[in-house]
Protein backbone atom coordinates (compact mmCIF):
# COMPACT_ATOMS: atom_id res chain seq x y z
CA UNK A 1 0.00 0.00 0.00
CA UNK A 2 1.23 3.48 -0.88
CA UNK A 3 0.43 6.73 0.94
CA UNK A 4 0.68 10.00 -0.99
CA UNK A 5 0.06 13.55 0.13
CA UNK A 6 0.03 15.60 -3.08
CA UNK A 7 -2.18 15.63 -6.16
CA UNK A 8 0.89 15.33 -8.38
CA UNK A 9 2.02 12.13 -6.64
CA UNK A 10 -1.50 10.72 -6.73
CA UNK A 11 -1.99 11.31 -10.44
CA UNK A 12 1.40 9.87 -11.35
CA UNK A 13 0.68 6.74 -9.33
CA UNK A 14 -2.80 6.29 -10.76
CA UNK A 15 -1.55 6.77 -14.32
CA UNK A 16 0.59 3.67 -13.91
CA UNK A 17 -2.41 1.68 -12.69
CA UNK A 18 -4.55 2.88 -15.60
CA UNK A 19 -1.84 1.85 -18.05
CA UNK A 20 -2.40 -1.69 -16.79
CA UNK A 21 -6.12 -1.36 -17.50
CA UNK A 22 -7.15 -1.11 -13.85
CA UNK A 23 -10.63 0.02 -12.83
CA UNK A 24 -10.18 2.68 -10.12
CA UNK A 25 -12.32 2.87 -6.99
CA UNK A 26 -12.50 5.70 -4.45
CA UNK A 27 -13.62 5.71 -0.82
CA UNK A 28 -13.70 9.30 0.52
CA UNK A 29 -13.29 9.53 4.32
CA UNK A 30 -12.26 11.98 7.01
CA UNK A 31 -10.15 9.33 8.74
CA UNK A 32 -10.48 8.01 12.31
CA UNK A 33 -11.56 4.82 10.60
CA UNK A 34 -13.77 2.14 12.14
CA UNK A 35 -15.19 -1.12 10.82
CA UNK A 36 -17.92 0.76 8.97
CA UNK A 37 -15.29 2.58 6.90
CA UNK A 38 -13.43 -0.66 6.29
CA UNK A 39 -16.64 -2.22 4.97
CA UNK A 40 -16.71 0.56 2.34
CA UNK A 41 -13.17 -0.34 1.31
CA UNK A 42 -14.15 -4.00 1.09
CA UNK A 43 -17.11 -3.02 -1.07
CA UNK A 44 -14.83 -0.97 -3.31
CA UNK A 45 -12.43 -3.90 -3.66
CA UNK A 46 -15.34 -5.89 -5.12
CA UNK A 47 -15.96 -3.13 -7.65
CA UNK A 48 -12.45 -2.08 -8.69
CA UNK A 49 -8.91 -3.31 -9.31
CA UNK A 50 -7.24 -0.40 -7.53
CA UNK A 51 -8.82 1.26 -4.49
CA UNK A 52 -7.92 4.75 -3.27
CA UNK A 53 -9.06 5.77 0.21
CA UNK A 54 -8.83 9.50 0.82
CA UNK A 55 -8.32 10.81 4.34
CA UNK A 56 -9.07 14.50 4.60
CA UNK A 57 -10.82 16.42 7.37
CA UNK A 58 -12.59 18.92 5.15
CA UNK A 59 -12.84 22.36 6.79
CA UNK A 60 -15.44 23.55 4.29
CA UNK A 61 -18.13 21.21 5.62
CA UNK A 62 -17.76 22.26 9.27
CA UNK A 63 -19.83 25.17 10.52
CA UNK A 64 -19.05 27.66 13.28
CA UNK A 65 -18.77 26.05 16.71
CA UNK A 66 -18.56 22.54 15.20
CA UNK A 67 -15.80 20.04 15.97
CA UNK A 68 -13.25 20.76 13.21
CA UNK A 69 -10.33 21.35 15.58
CA UNK A 70 -11.15 18.41 17.84
CA UNK A 71 -12.04 15.94 15.10
CA UNK A 72 -9.71 12.95 15.60
CA UNK A 73 -6.72 12.66 13.28
CA UNK A 74 -5.38 9.09 13.43
CA UNK A 75 -3.46 8.61 10.19
CA UNK A 76 -1.03 5.92 11.38
CA UNK A 77 -3.79 3.78 12.86
CA UNK A 78 -5.91 4.35 9.74
CA UNK A 79 -3.05 3.23 7.50
CA UNK A 80 -2.67 -0.02 9.45
CA UNK A 81 -6.39 -0.79 9.15
CA UNK A 82 -6.44 0.02 5.44
CA UNK A 83 -3.39 -2.09 4.67
CA UNK A 84 -4.92 -5.04 6.52
CA UNK A 85 -8.11 -4.61 4.47
CA UNK A 86 -6.22 -4.74 1.16
CA UNK A 87 -6.52 -1.05 0.22
CA UNK A 88 -4.00 0.02 -2.41
CA UNK A 89 -3.50 3.79 -2.11
CA UNK A 90 -4.07 6.28 0.72
CA UNK A 91 -4.45 9.90 -0.34
CA UNK A 92 -3.95 12.12 2.69
CA UNK A 93 -3.55 15.73 1.52
CA UNK A 94 -3.19 18.81 3.70
CA UNK A 95 -5.76 21.59 3.69
CA UNK A 96 -3.21 23.74 1.85
CA UNK A 97 -2.92 21.11 -0.88
CA UNK A 98 -6.68 20.98 -1.39
CA UNK A 99 -7.40 24.68 -0.90
CA UNK A 100 -4.20 26.49 -1.97
CA UNK A 101 -6.00 29.83 -2.26
CA UNK A 102 -7.99 29.47 0.95
CA UNK A 103 -11.66 28.71 1.50
CA UNK A 104 -12.87 32.24 0.79
CA UNK A 105 -11.67 32.09 -2.83
CA UNK A 106 -12.64 28.49 -3.51
CA UNK A 107 -15.16 27.71 -6.24
CA UNK A 108 -18.06 25.87 -4.66
CA UNK A 109 -20.50 23.25 -5.88
CA UNK A 110 -24.10 23.58 -4.69
CA UNK A 111 -26.61 20.76 -5.18
CA UNK A 112 -30.10 22.28 -4.88
CA UNK A 113 -33.28 20.78 -3.44
CA UNK A 114 -31.88 17.50 -2.10
CA UNK A 115 -29.42 19.45 0.10
CA UNK A 116 -32.29 21.25 1.78
CA UNK A 117 -33.94 20.16 5.00
CA UNK A 118 -32.78 17.56 7.51
CA UNK A 119 -29.00 17.94 8.03
CA UNK A 120 -29.00 20.68 5.41
CA UNK A 121 -31.30 22.76 7.60
CA UNK A 122 -29.46 22.01 10.82
CA UNK A 123 -25.99 22.61 9.34
CA UNK A 124 -26.24 25.47 6.81
CA UNK A 125 -23.55 25.22 4.15
CA UNK A 126 -22.55 21.70 5.18
CA UNK A 127 -23.57 20.00 1.96
CA UNK A 128 -22.00 22.73 -0.17
CA UNK A 129 -18.75 21.81 1.56
CA UNK A 130 -19.37 18.11 0.99
CA UNK A 131 -20.30 18.40 -2.67
CA UNK A 132 -17.39 20.76 -3.33
CA UNK A 133 -14.72 18.55 -1.79
CA UNK A 134 -16.16 15.36 -3.30
CA UNK A 135 -16.23 16.92 -6.77
CA UNK A 136 -12.60 17.95 -6.25
CA UNK A 137 -11.65 14.43 -5.13
CA UNK A 138 -13.44 13.04 -8.18
CA UNK A 139 -11.33 15.31 -10.39
CA UNK A 140 -8.13 14.44 -8.56
CA UNK A 141 -8.67 10.66 -8.60
CA UNK A 142 -10.93 10.31 -11.67
CA UNK A 143 -12.41 7.07 -10.32
CA UNK A 144 -14.62 4.68 -12.22
CA UNK A 145 -16.60 3.93 -9.05
CA UNK A 146 -16.95 5.58 -5.63
CA UNK A 147 -18.42 4.03 -2.48
CA UNK A 148 -20.34 5.93 0.21
CA UNK A 149 -22.08 4.69 3.34
CA UNK A 150 -25.86 4.71 3.55
CA UNK A 151 -25.68 5.97 7.15
CA UNK A 152 -25.25 9.46 5.68
CA UNK A 153 -28.38 9.01 3.59
CA UNK A 154 -28.83 12.65 2.60
CA UNK A 155 -25.14 12.95 1.71
CA UNK A 156 -25.43 9.92 -0.57
CA UNK A 157 -28.47 11.49 -2.25
CA UNK A 158 -26.57 14.76 -2.73
CA UNK A 159 -23.60 12.99 -4.33
CA UNK A 160 -25.83 10.95 -6.64
CA UNK A 161 -27.65 14.06 -7.84
CA UNK A 162 -24.38 15.96 -8.34
CA UNK A 163 -22.90 13.15 -10.42
CA UNK A 164 -26.07 12.91 -12.51
CA UNK A 165 -26.51 16.64 -13.02
CA UNK A 166 -22.86 17.20 -13.98
CA UNK A 167 -22.64 14.09 -16.20
CA UNK A 168 -19.71 12.68 -14.24
CA UNK A 169 -18.78 9.21 -15.59
CA UNK A 170 -18.64 7.70 -12.09
CA UNK A 171 -20.71 4.86 -10.66
CA UNK A 172 -21.90 5.70 -7.13
CA UNK A 173 -22.35 2.69 -4.86
CA UNK A 174 -24.11 2.86 -1.49
CA UNK A 175 -22.98 0.48 1.24
CA UNK A 176 -25.26 -0.64 4.11
CA UNK A 177 -24.89 0.98 7.52
CA UNK A 178 -22.59 -0.92 9.88
CA UNK A 179 -23.97 -1.27 13.40
CA UNK A 180 -22.81 -2.25 16.85
CA UNK A 181 -24.44 -5.33 18.41
CA UNK A 182 -27.00 -3.08 20.13
CA UNK A 183 -27.95 -1.40 16.86
CA UNK A 184 -26.05 1.87 17.20
CA UNK A 185 -24.74 2.99 13.82
CA UNK A 186 -20.96 3.01 13.79
CA UNK A 187 -19.60 6.55 13.62
CA UNK A 188 -16.33 8.32 14.35
CA UNK A 189 -18.30 10.62 16.64
CA UNK A 190 -19.34 7.70 18.86
CA UNK A 191 -15.93 8.11 20.44
CA UNK A 192 -17.11 11.39 21.94
CA UNK A 193 -19.77 9.61 24.03
CA UNK A 194 -19.26 9.01 27.73
CA UNK A 195 -19.89 5.51 29.09
CA UNK A 196 -23.39 6.50 30.22
CA UNK A 197 -24.18 8.24 26.92
CA UNK A 198 -23.02 5.17 25.01
CA UNK A 199 -25.59 3.14 26.92
CA UNK A 200 -28.33 5.63 26.01
CA UNK A 201 -27.41 5.99 22.33
CA UNK A 202 -29.05 2.81 20.94
CA UNK A 203 -32.48 4.35 21.58
CA UNK A 204 -32.12 6.09 18.21
CA UNK A 205 -32.09 2.75 16.42
CA UNK A 206 -34.88 1.45 18.64
CA UNK A 207 -37.05 4.42 17.68
CA UNK A 208 -36.27 3.93 13.99
CA UNK A 209 -37.16 0.24 14.22
CA UNK A 210 -40.46 1.00 15.94
CA UNK A 211 -41.38 3.55 13.28
CA UNK A 212 -40.31 1.22 10.46
CA UNK A 213 -42.45 -1.57 11.92
CA UNK A 214 -45.46 0.76 12.10
CA UNK A 215 -44.95 1.90 8.50
CA UNK A 216 -44.63 -1.70 7.39
CA UNK A 217 -47.98 -2.42 9.02
CA UNK A 218 -49.58 0.32 6.93
CA UNK A 219 -49.67 3.24 9.36
CA UNK A 220 -49.68 6.51 7.42
CA UNK A 221 -50.14 9.17 10.12
CA UNK A 222 -46.56 10.25 9.63
CA UNK A 223 -46.78 13.29 11.90
CA UNK A 224 -48.00 11.16 14.80
CA UNK A 225 -45.24 8.59 14.26
CA UNK A 226 -42.61 11.35 14.16
CA UNK A 227 -43.97 12.94 17.34
CA UNK A 228 -44.03 9.59 19.14
CA UNK A 229 -40.41 8.89 18.19
CA UNK A 230 -39.23 12.35 19.28
CA UNK A 231 -40.94 11.81 22.63
CA UNK A 232 -39.17 8.46 22.99
CA UNK A 233 -35.80 10.08 22.29
CA UNK A 234 -36.44 12.96 24.71
CA UNK A 235 -37.53 10.63 27.48
CA UNK A 236 -34.30 8.68 27.01
CA UNK A 237 -32.24 11.82 27.58
CA UNK A 238 -31.51 12.80 23.98
CA UNK A 239 -32.31 16.12 22.33
CA UNK A 240 -33.92 15.46 18.94
CA UNK A 241 -32.65 17.61 16.09
CA UNK A 242 -35.06 16.19 13.52
CA UNK A 243 -37.01 13.00 12.93
CA UNK A 244 -38.52 12.94 9.46
CA UNK A 245 -40.33 10.33 7.39
CA UNK A 246 -39.55 11.09 3.75
CA UNK A 247 -39.87 9.82 0.22
CA UNK A 248 -36.65 7.82 -0.28
CA UNK A 249 -35.97 9.30 -3.72
CA UNK A 250 -36.82 12.97 -3.23
CA UNK A 251 -36.24 13.30 0.55
CA UNK A 252 -39.42 15.36 0.64
CA UNK A 253 -42.04 14.71 3.36
CA UNK A 254 -43.67 11.35 2.77
CA UNK A 255 -47.14 11.15 1.25
CA UNK A 256 -49.63 8.32 1.94
CA UNK A 257 -49.22 6.97 -1.60
CA UNK A 258 -45.39 6.73 -1.37
CA UNK A 259 -44.06 3.18 -1.43
CA UNK A 260 -40.36 3.82 -0.75
CA UNK A 261 -39.91 5.58 2.58
CA UNK A 262 -36.88 6.52 4.65
CA UNK A 263 -36.87 7.64 8.27
CA UNK A 264 -34.13 10.23 8.84
CA UNK A 265 -33.09 10.99 12.41
CA UNK A 266 -30.57 13.21 14.17
CA UNK A 267 -30.27 13.84 17.89
CA UNK A 268 -27.84 15.32 20.37
CA UNK A 269 -26.57 13.21 23.23
CA UNK A 270 -24.67 15.60 25.46
CA UNK A 271 -22.63 17.62 22.98
CA UNK A 272 -22.44 14.82 20.40
CA UNK A 273 -24.71 14.87 17.36
CA UNK A 274 -25.66 11.43 16.06
CA UNK A 275 -27.48 10.59 12.81
CA UNK A 276 -29.12 7.42 11.55
CA UNK A 277 -31.83 6.21 9.15
CA UNK A 278 -33.90 3.24 8.10
CA UNK A 279 -35.67 2.62 4.81
CA UNK A 280 -39.01 0.85 4.36
CA UNK A 281 -40.62 -0.46 1.19
CA UNK A 282 -44.39 -0.73 1.54
The catalytic residue positions are 37
HEC secondary structure over the chain: CEEECCHHHHHHHHHHHHHCCCCEEEEEECCCCCHHHHHHHHHHHHHCCEEEEEECCCHHHCCCCCCCCCCCCCHHHHHHHHHHHCCCEEECCCHHHHCCCCHHHCCCCCCCCCCCCCHHHHCCCHHHHHHHHHHHHHHHHCCCEEEEECCCHHHHHHHHHHHHHCCCCCEEEEECCCECCCCCECCHHHHHCCHHHHHHCCHHHHHHHHHHHHHHCCCCCHHHHHHHHHHHHHHCCCEEEEEEEEECCCCCECCCCCCEEEEEEEEEECCEEEEEEEEEEC
Amino acid sequence: MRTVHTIKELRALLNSHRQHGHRIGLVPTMGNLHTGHISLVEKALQQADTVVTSIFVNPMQFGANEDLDSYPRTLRDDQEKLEAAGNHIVFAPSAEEVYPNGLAQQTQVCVPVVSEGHCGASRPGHFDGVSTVVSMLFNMVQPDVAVFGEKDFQQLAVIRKMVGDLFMPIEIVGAPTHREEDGLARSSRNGYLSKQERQQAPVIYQALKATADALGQGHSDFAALEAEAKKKLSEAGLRPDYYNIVNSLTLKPAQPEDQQLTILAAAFLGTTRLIDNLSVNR
